[in-house]
Every structure is written in structure tokens, then in C-alpha cells.
Structure 1
């Protein structure tokens, strides 16, 4: 069985998009620099060390998961804005949609948003995760347009033996009656700093770890802005942590209005909640006599 297609960060975006449309997944061998990995380990590693194993079979009884990553570090900008990941997500999902407003034909391009974030560490003895589609959360039919593009950054080496993510290339083209089989899945093998990008309709799942070394990956999903986020970023990430990120990342966290008009507050773009106190007061962001604030 052939492995997943591999590219580098220097790959042409059009080529990466073509691979994702064909196979549904691609490996970027040099996705994250060592300095980025070291900084993320410094910020996020302690949370893994104190975290308990998951308490259910689906998430993995020998797997540790840490969420709310943008609340735990300010160093995710080069990950979520990586040109290959963000560029592919924009190309695949941000497509103009026609609509009529009265007698005026308009074209609206939806935004995209960060949906879920996790650090996932698979330990010795963890079995294979059930193969699944991430966009099934939105109960959407397959095949169909891409509504999610997801990333897994290898924080440690990914191999066939230590739980490298299993992927069935091309399965985003299947309908909803065809069941996935593990014999069809290919393990993701990549060095620390490598990145697996896949679309929401691809069947995948964590692999089995038969080694003594944990396998650690960092995942971020981008969804269309008109869908509910899997992880509620407004509650997960305190306002002061959102303010530590550049405007582009703030918009991806949801502080942006999705055309034609989803996500407003007091008829303003939601980024009004990130402005100074007087601006928020003038905008009417007052709840129970106190200024409304994110957690």
C-alpha cells in the first residue's frame, strides 16, 4: 500500500490543494521549526505531565489530551498561520456563494475559524482509535464541499508502531453508507516538526502504540465560519490571551463576523469585545450593570 504524499513547506499552494482534493491528506515534512516545537513543549508540556488519561474508550484509556491550547500559550501563530495549512484551508473552504437580496445578486465568501485544539499523547498499550470523519460532527452528507481542514503537528516522532495517525486516502469521496476498514488505513510517519493536513471528510484515527515511548501530536482544526465550533473558543480562551495574538489569529478564534452577517454583538463585529473599556461601553456591551467580558 502506497504511503501518503509528502511535500515540504516550500511546495506550491496549488499543488498542495490538488493533493488534498485528490487524497484528502498530505504530509508536510518540515512544517514546524525546532524552535517552535521547543517553545510549545515549554508552555504545554507541563499540562500533559499533570493530566490524567482519558476516561472513555473512544478518546483512549491510555491517551492524554490537553485542550484550550490558545489559553495555555501565545506561541501558536506560526502553526495556525502556516502558509500551507491556512492557505489550503482558505482555498478549499472560502469560496464565494451566490445569493439574492431583493433584486440584487450578491456573492458572499464565508470566513473560517479555529474549531478545536488539542495536544494528544498516546502511550504504550493504547489501541487503535475507531476510524471516523471529523466533519461528521456537523451531520453533513458525503461526499460534498470541504467544511473542515485539520492539522496534526508531530511534537514527537510519528511511526507505524507508536500510534502515528491512521488515514484512508481518498475516503472523503465516499458516501455515508461505505464503512471504513483498518486494512485500508495508512499510518502517518513523520519526524518531529512534521505536519499532517487532512480534510474533514477523510476517515482517520489515532494508531496503536506498541512501543515504550509516547507519541505526542498537536492538532488544530479550521471550520467554516457559519458552523458551530467544536471547542467553544470564546469560553476556552480568556480575553487577555486573545489580545496576545495578532489580529489574524483573533479573527480565526472567532472575533470576526462571517458574511453575510453571522456572529455580531450589539450589531457590531465581535472584535468590539477586544477593544478598550470606553469603546465597549459606547457599543452597549453592558450586562447587569457591568461591562461584558470574555472569560
Structure 2
């Protein structure tokens, strides 16, 4: 039996963006033109002080900054002891560049899947209570569903999407502006003000040393989380998230950003990133192929849930015969109930 070559089925997929683009090719030059761009000239230029959350820091205060700017700075988010322990755990994993392309400059070193290389990253960075509350607000999903003659409620908890330590070395060029939610095909819509329910991921970046405009501080475009999907950011619209060791920069994945050029002679910008996504979406990094089972078993129940070793309610992510992988790995986490929070008889 002869097996025919696979078909290109991509043309069958619906698209909400391709119809608004005109492509052309002349020799080796490929161009794309947005046919009907939305007129939007809004541009914000907050200072570092504008982005910084005042004491005492609360989830409400961080959320307010994110709603307006798409980014927020929290001073002393993690102690120096925790930040140093993360560095000690992760830095031995630095190795020569193994990726192709120019998305990351040649001078940038990185360690991926840090959540599986450091329990400190998993327990103290990813599971930081303030960060967890923020993730629940922006990317947690809770809904009701009809099953038979009952109405049930279910909560899909945010999960790890990717975790990376990036070290930008002298001579590195600007990283291209991008939105991190493109991995989930999130199509941003023009909005006058922020609306909850559309975000697919949120990030927290922790500085291991002082991050400055000169050594590669993350530059991002404030307000771009409210832009149309196809608006192109301009360099002059960006601001630099200059922070000290232990400070955090929180950012919505719908916000344009990129690492900056390192124009120093001998400084490295060292920063750990933690991206969390909706529990019902695919994770950016497949951490399960490279991580020993024993490592997962050594983590707390909450860390396992945040990593994604648990069912996303109501029925996503089962193991074997409808078993919750969390209860298989941590039997003590089972309370004997099923995984639907509540069921109510429907009155029609």
C-alpha cells in the first residue's frame, strides 16, 4: 500500500487576520502590507516611578498598573537570599548557544525550564502568593457548564508556561519587539480600556543584578496591550524597565516588548522570567520529557498544580483511566471528592 504524501491542511484553517494582509514577493524580498489598519495613535510614556507600585504592595495596585500600562514594577519582590539561591541553582546550567536564528542575540546566554532545575524557582518564585493571586485574576478561568440536569462550576488554575534565565552580554543587539501571547494565537483587539477575560499569559521577571538601559533592561511598549493585533510599535514608544536586584517587573503577554541592546563593555544583565498561562492551554516548554519523576515528587502540592501536574477542571489533562495525575503523584492531596467544584440541580 502506497501512503500518499501529507497534504498541507493549513489553507483549511479559518483566520481572522490573513484577509487583512497583502503579501508580495519580488526576487528575494518579501513584503506584507496591512490593507485596512485601524487608526490608533495612542502612546503612553510613563516614567519608572509611574510604573512602580507604592507600598504597601497589593494585588489591586499591581492590577491597576497592568490595566493601564501592561507592565508594573514591584520593589524588593523577592529577598536577596532567594534571588541568590535561584542564581546558584541555575547558573551552572549555562552553556554555549544551541539555537539558530537571530531572535536571541549571539551574546545572550539562557537556561530554559528553570522551574525544573531549581526548587527555589518552583516554590518561591512561581508560587509566590502575590504572583499567584495576580495570575488567578488575569488568567484563571471559572465557568458554569450544563451536565445532564445539573449546572456545575469549574475552575481552571493558571499553570507554568515557560521559565528562563536570560543573561544579556556586552555587544548584544536589541531583540525584536514581540508579544508573547502569539504562541497561543491570541488575537488582540483595539480597546479603549482593559477588559478581563482575553489574556492568555502573564509574566514576572526578577532581576539578579541591576538592569539598566545600557546593559539590556527589558524595553516594553506601555499601552500596547490595548492595541489592535496588527499595529506595529515604534522605537520611540518604548520605555525601559530599569530595576534593582530582587525587584520584579510584571507584564501582560499581550504587551509588545523585547530585550535591549547591551552597550556596556563588561556588564551582564541577568534576569529570571516566569510565564504563567491558562490551565487549558498548551505550555510553551515541554518540561515533562526532561524532568525525572523524582523531582516532581519532591515538590509541594501547590507547586505541582502550578507546574501543570493536575487536572484543569472540568476534564482536561487526565492520566490513564480518568485519574488526576496530582493524586497519583501525591495521594495525600485527595480529599475523596470529584474534580467538579459544585453541582446544582437545574430549575428550568
Q: What band does the TM-score fall into relative to the shorter chain?
A: 0.7 to 0.9
The CA deviation at 1:54 is 4.9
| 1:28-66 C-alpha deviation (Å, 9 max, x unpaired) | 111111111221121112222x44375421022111111
User: What is the aligned partner in structure 1 of residue 242 from structure 2?
Assistant: 189
CA gap of 1:72–1:95, structure 2 versus 1, over 3 A, is closer
1:129-168 matched pairs, under 5 angstroms: 129-143=175-189, 145-168=198-221
| 1:242 counterpart SS class | helix
Structure 1 position 241, deviation (Å): 1.4
**Compared CA separation, residues 214 and 3, structure 1 to 2 (3 A):** same
| Alignment correspondent of 2:325 | 270
CA distance in 1, matches of 2:97, 2:125: 26
What are the superposed Cα offsets for residues 60-81 of structure 1, whole Å, 9 maximum, x if unpaired?
2111111121332221211112
2:280 matched to 1:226? yes
1:110 and 1:225 in contact (8 A); partners too = yes
Aligned length: 275
Other-structure match for 2:110: 65
- CA offset digits 1:213-261 (Å, max 9, x no partner): 0101101110001000000122243211112221100111111100111
- Contact residue 53 and residue 65 of structure 1 kept, 8 A: no
Q: Which residue of 2 aligns with 1:92?
A: 138
Give the greater-gyration-radius structure (CA). 2
Q: Would the aligned equivalents of 1:68 and 1:237 in 2 still touch at CA under 8 Å?
A: no
Query: Does 150-159 or 83-92 show the bigger shift?
Result: 83-92
TM-score (norm 1): 0.88
Cα distance between partner residues in 2 of 1:51 and 1:241? 25
> What is the aligned partner in structure 1 of residue 297 from structure 2?
243
- Give the one of 95, 118, 126 matched to 1:80: 126
Query: How far off its partner does 1:84 sit?
Result: 2.4
Shift of 1:9: 7.4
8 Å contact kept, 2:186–2:200: no
- Give the CA deviation at 1:99: 3.0
The answer to whether the 8 Å contact 1:9/1:28 transfers is no
Structural RMSD (CA): 1.8
Q: CA deviation at 1:153?
A: 0.6
Residue 56 (1) aligns with residue 101 (2)? yes
SS in 2 for 1:145: coil
Q: What's the offset of the Cα at 1:275?
A: 4.7
Map Cα deviations across residues 89-118 of structure 1 (whole Å, 9 max, x no partner).
111122422333344333332221101011
Unaligned runs of 5+ in 2: 1-44, 190-196, 332-348
Do residues 42 (structure 1) and 88 (structure 2) align? yes
Aligned equivalents of 1:210, 1:53: Cα separation in 2: 24
- 2:252 pairs, out of 182, 193, 199, with 199
Contact 1:53 1:60 in 2 (8 A): no
- The verdict on how the C-alpha distance between 1:54 and 1:156 changes in structure 2, with shifts beyond 3 A counting, is farther
Point out 4+ residue stretches in structure 1 off by more than 4 angstroms. Answer: none
Q: Could you tell me which runs of 5 or more consecutive residues in structure 1 were left unpaired when the two chains were aligned.
A: 277-295
Structure 1 counterpart of 2:156: 110
TM-score when normalising by structure 2: 0.75
